[in-house]
Amino acid sequence: MERFGLRDDQWDRIKDILPGREGHVGGTAADNRLFVEAILYRFRTGIPWRDLPAHFGYWKSVHQRFGRWAKTAFRSLGEEWGF
């Protein structure tokens, strides 16, 4: 699985800007890195969400969290860009 995961230097660059981090408004995620790696794995392999390997967590929970995360990101971009 390492080839689909993040290197430590990549994780260090993004960990402080992700939702779900310690001190961020809303809930604190148990493992943001595992969530990001699950998304990367899913999109790099092209598998359906339901085929996500179990070590990433329950596929439906990962999918729902990704949906919320994406809506928040696009809403923020829309406000920033005036959409």
Instruction: Give the pLDDT confidence score for residue 22 in this predicted structure.
Output: 60
Half-sphere exposure of 5 (CA within 13 A, CB side): 11
Instruction: Give the pLDDT confidence score for residue 29 in this predicted structure.
Output: 61
Residue 78, class by beta-carbon neighbours within 10 Å (0-12 exposed, 13-18 middle, 19+ buried)?
Answer: exposed
Per residue in 53-80, pLDDT (tens digit) is: 999 999 999 999 899 888 877 666 566 6
Instruction: Give the pLDDT confidence score for residue 58 in this predicted structure.
Output: 95
The span from the CA of 17 to the CA of 43, in Å, is 21
Per residue in 7-63, pLDDT (tens digit) is: 999 988 888 877 665 655 555 566 888 988 999 999 999 999 999 999 999 999 999
